[in-house]
Amino acid sequence: MIIQLDKNISEKNKKAITDKMSSLKFKPTEVLTQKGDYLIGTGKADFDIRDLGQMAGIQDIHMVSDDYQLVSRKWKVDYTTIDLGDGVKVGANDFAIMAGPCSIESEEQIVKVIDHLKANNVKIMRGGVYKPRSSPYSFRGLGIDGLKLWHQHAKAAGIKIITEVMQVSQIAEMYDYIDMYQVGARNTQNFNLLDELGKVDKPVLIKRGISGTIEELLYSAEYVFSGGNERLLLCERGIRTYEKASRNTMDLNAIPILKEKTHLPIIADPSHGIGIRHHVEPITLASIMAGADGVIFETHEIPEKAYSDGQQTLNFRESDNMIARIRKTLELRESF
């Protein structure tokens, strides 16, 4: 059960509502976000919803059977749009293209990627300054100094930044230099990190776990929402299966299923989803036709010289061509 409270509800009325919920054998939990004040009721008892709905201080009430209540589409029919400022939005009627290298490597690289994005009217740049690598001997990013340098150039160019946060201590130090936090596949169930991201007023993109289910991804988003941050996006990036022909198995099924289950924007990551450069484009276009609200992919001037994930990274010419086809595919989708 989700109860939306009036903006200026009195403490007396709020207590009366929580007492009534308890009497109906529902445990009340208050969730205060950037956009509203909610009471989440967990319980199984049957009751007449009018017993609660008519009480003073209640704006609306919804019965939601899913355990992930706040991210469920059962109470919020309209899809959520995430506003990054300066006219850059993601979700509903605002399809987003996010592109950039796997790792931020140097100032020269930053400038070249930004120039490439500007030439294609792409407003969001991805890149890693803290890199979770399978081998401890691989390049692991330039850290906060690299982020500050990246932010300086991106801000001057009107480009928004999305980058991965790996631990709680990085949230505050990154805050002034990013527009969107990314929770990587290895941290999707790092609940301490998710709890802390619920306390910040910046969008958070959560990637599906390496072997995670759709339900587990929704639970991860519920952690952040229930912590107070409802500016959330979900990302399908492929899952680990027994198949060895590709890096991961891109679960295109997940996109329409998530669109049915949640009001949050759904982003597709074809680079990690298949992990093979010349197959990234068809998976991208298929993701769009499956209903994705945006794509996030890797591009580098010379992928063969990239510090990480060169095998799945498009060069600038390939990226130019794919962005043009993305826009043609969107036109086709909108004509249906």
**Model confidence pLDDT, tens digit, residues 22-58:** 999 999 999 999 999 999 998 887 888 888 889 999 9
pLDDT for 218 beyond 80: yes
Q: What is the pLDDT of residue 47?
A: 85
Distance, in Å, from the CA atom of 41 to the CA atom of 51, rounded to the nearest integer, reads 14
Domains and CATH numbers, the chain: 2-62 (3.30.70), 82-334 (3.20.20.70)
- Beta carbons within 8 Å of 24's beta carbon, 6+ residues apart: 43, 45, 47, 51, 52
Rounded to a whole number of angstroms, the distance between the first and last alpha carbons of the chain is: 35
The count of other CB atoms within 10 Å of the CB of residue 10 is 11
Q: What is the pLDDT of residue 51?
A: 81
> Residue 99 pairs with which residues in a beta bridge?
125, 297
pLDDT for 136 beyond 80: no
Strand order in the sheet with 58-62: 27-32, 37-42, 2-5, 58-62
What percentage of the chain has pLDDT greater than the value 90? 88
Residues 215-220, mean pLDDT to the nearest whole number: 98
**Model confidence pLDDT, tens digit, residues 219-255:** 999 999 999 999 999 999 999 999 999 999 999 999 9
Q: What is the pLDDT of residue 53?
A: 87
Q: Report the relative pairing of strands 58-62 and 37-42 from DSSP bridges.
A: unpaired
Residues 164-184, mean pLDDT to the nearest whole number: 97
152 falls in which pLDDT band (50, 70, 90)? Answer: very high
Which parts of the chain are beta strand (E)? Answer: 2-5, 27-32, 37-42, 58-62, 82-85, 88-90, 96-100, 124-126, 160-164, 180-183, 204-207, 232-236, 266-268, 294-298
Name the 3-class secondary structure at 61. Answer: strand
Closest CA to 84 of 72, 100, 70, 98: 98
Number of residues that this document lists for the chain: 336
The tokens 């054998």 sit on which residue? 25
**What's the mean per-residue pLDDT of the chain?**
95
Distance, in Å, from the CA atom of 4 to the CA atom of 48, rounded to the nearest integer, reads 17
Residues 271-293, mean pLDDT to the nearest whole number: 98
